[in-house]
Amino acid sequence: MSIPPAAEAASNRPGVAAQAARRRTFAIISHPDAGKTTLTENLLLAGGAIRAAGAVRARGENRRTRSDWMKIERERGISVSASVMTFDHDGLMFNLLDTPGHEDFSEDTYRTLTAADAAVMVLDAAKGIEPQTLKLFEVCRMRDIPIVTFINKMDREAQDPFELLDEIASKLALDPAPLYWPAGSGGRFKGMLDLRRQQFLPFAKKGGGPAHDEDGHPDAIAFKGNAVVSYLEPDEHEELAENAELVTEAAKPFDPQSFLEGHMTPVFFGSALRHFGVAQLLEGIGAYAPPPKPVAARRGGDETHVAPGDREVSGFVFKVQANMDPNHRDRIAFLKLCSGRFARGMKLKVQNTGKQLSVNAPVMFFASDRELAEDAYAGDVIGIPNHGVLRVGDSLSESGTLRFAGLPNFAPEILQRVRVKDPLKAKHLKKALESLAEEGVTQLFRPNMGSDFIVGAVGQLQFEVMADRLREEYQLDVIFEASPFAEARWLTADRADLEDFTGKHRTAMATDIDEQPVFLGKSAWEVNYVTERFPKVRFERAKERA
């Protein structure tokens, strides 16, 4: 389905590389309550993807009434599922990946971040860097994802912005480069100065608000001109001018290269709730966040790099979501495209299984609704409905020979035994557990002795979500109870060493859904003990699917 260069030129269609270059695929990271949902909504509003704030939630509600497996999400007021929203704005195609805010879903977030080319870190101006922000930041750093900072809730009493910058520098070892500077905060928040253009952006107390379609804030005006007196008292003007001078001297100037290398973060200020500073943030993402980069991969036994402009279509699955619509038992695999021009109906091969699938009904998630994707390019995320063929970490390409580095599974932090109340449904339970484990959010271990299933997760909330989903989607009432195990480790060793170890620890051995051997330890101490006693066996905390 790839278009020959001549035809491409004839149809005046921008080339594959040029299309990829206009993609901005990013995620928002924050501590719960810092304003991620509000900012998401207002970015979509600023990008023209939705017309009124409140639409993201309304859409969420709609989805939930169609498929109410998100009851817990609703009851707890947390966002459990990660999704993607796409919008075209200012000549660029933005793909906003939504990440769950709750730390029990950090593995899901981690995987989503593997698909992001940049991240927006939202800080609550009164709280600065909070524990979950720090954790997510570390994931971004591990993956060299450049970070844009948005200091939110300036309409509330905030910390001194200089202190906030110091915190970014000291806690994250990142050079903050403010592009704007706020005038006051809370009741005294008057707006902000665009440090590059020397323009003042007034904040109207009555502007914004959830019910407003327009931002309602006055237009930017020259900071040095006379008009500014209508917005700033003389002492406020003086203070802002002084602070701007100070910060311009003290902070390193914004260097796009340093940002791309992960050493510097451009800092924006605003109030997501009041629609203030969000358009500037979006402009900044468009201007500075990178388009998709070449990705390291293997073809056959050889290492290679897949460039976004390459002709062959390729990508990897970073998330699988089952039963978005329980009436259809559908399962959507989210594929981040790494190269080529994907066209609907195209055949792609899964690298590790060699299976070929015709992608006839790919979905792109535009903010307003799901739509069929006719074509897509590197950076885009398409949803591929399937019946269990695709798994998290799968690499897809036209030739089927490309393999991107796998997405790791981490050793779970809590292991629980699961039982179904009606023993006649044990077989049914096995299928349901496997299907949920294939989404990659929870892990399933089948002990070699006995008939129990052990489910592993990062946090308690995942068990609750799982119980709820088993009831809603599979009509299975289950009980999770304490298991004797506290730690899981994947084992790798020569066959003889593995058999020796397994023979001596029969009651602690299990297999995961890929039939790989797993040691279930009763404590961290026991894991250390066996690790020392069996030096030829490797006890891995993370597993990459082969």
DSSP string, 290-351: PPPPPEEEEETTEEEEE-TT-SS-EEEEEEEEE-SSTTTT-EEEEEEEEESEEETT-EEEET
- Considering only 19, 25, 37, 199, the residue that binds ligand G4P (CB under 6 A) is 37
* Subset of residues 411 to 470 that bind ligand G4P, contact rule: CB under 6 A: none
Nearer to ligand G4P, 189 or 223 (CB): 189
C-beta separation of 287 from 198 below 8 A: no
Site string for ligand G4P, 264-293 (x = CB under 6 A): -------xxxx-------------------
Rg for the chain, CA atoms, rounded: 25
Residue number, 111 or 274, with CB nearest to ligand G4P? 274
Query: Min. distance of Cβ 130 from ligand G4P in angstroms?
Result: 10
DSSP 545: -
Which residues in 84-103 contact ligand G4P (CB under 6 A)? 101
Of 1, 10, 14, 33, the one binding ligand G4P (CB under 6 A) is 33
CA distance 316 to 308: 13
Stretch that binds ligand G4P, among 35-43, 441-449, 457-465, 492-500 (CB under 6 A): 35-43
Task: Check residue 333 for interaction with ligand G4P (CB under 6 A).
Answer: no
Q: How far is Cα 473 from Cα 483, in angstroms, rounded to an integer?
A: 25
Only one of the segments 25-33, 43-51, 303-311, 430-438 lies at the binding site for ligand G4P (rule: CB under 6 A); that segment is: 25-33
Residues 44-63 that bind ligand G4P (CB under 6 A): none
Q: How near is the Cβ of 59 to ligand G4P at its closest, in Å? A: 15
Are the C-beta atoms of residues 39 and 272 closer than 8 Å to each other? yes
Please give the C-alpha separations between residue 137 and each of 242, 256, 265, 303, in angstroms, as whole numbers: 32, 19, 12, 29
Q: How far is Cα 400 from Cα 312, in angstroms, rounded to an integer?
A: 10
Least distance CB 191 / ligand G4P (angstroms): 14
User: Angle of helix 131-142 relative to helix 161-172, nearest 10 degrees?
Assistant: 50
Among candidates 150, 138, 84, 125, which has minimal Cα distance to 289? Answer: 150
Q: Are strands 331-339 and 314-322 parallel, antiparallel or unpaired?
A: antiparallel
Q: Which of 130, 122, 143, 127 is nearest to 171 (CA)?
A: 130
Do the Cβ atoms of 211 and 230 come closer than 8 Å?
no
- Provide φ and ψ at 335, rounded to 5°: -110, 120
Smaller CB separation from ligand G4P, 32 or 286: 32
- The one among 16, 20, 21, 34 contacting ligand G4P by CB under 6 A: 34
Task: Compute the least distance from the CB of residue 200 to ligand G4P, in Å.
Answer: 20
Could you tell me how far CA 346 lies from the centroid of its own chain? 26
Tokens representing 31? 């501590």
Q: Which stretch binds ligand G4P (CB under 6 A): 15-23, 26-34, 348-356, 473-481?
A: 26-34
According to CB under 6 A, which one of 30, 109, 199, 395 is a site residue for ligand G4P? 30
Please report, as residue ranges, which positions from 342 to 361 form the binding site for ligand G4P (by CB under 6 A): none
295 is a contact residue toward ligand G4P (CB under 6 A): no
Q: CA 180 from chain center: how many Å?
A: 26
- The count of chain residues that interact with ligand G4P, using the rule CB under 6 A, is 17
Tell me which residue has tokens 């609704």: 369
Other Cβ atoms closer than 10 A to 160: 11
**CB of 221: closest distance to ligand G4P in angstroms?**
23
CB-CB contact of 119 with 147 (8 Å): yes
Q: Which is nearer to ligand G4P, 36 or 349 (CB)?
A: 36
**Binding of ligand G4P by 36 (CB under 6 A):** yes
**CB 67 to ligand G4P: min, Å:** 21
Which member of 25, 38, 199, 314 binds ligand G4P (CB under 6 A)?
38
Interactions with ligand G4P, residue window 147-166 (CB under 6 A)? 152-153, 155-156
Among residues 21 and 34, whose Cβ is nearest to ligand G4P? Answer: 34
Binding site for ligand G4P (CB under 6 A): 30, 32-38, 101, 152-153, 155-156, 271-274
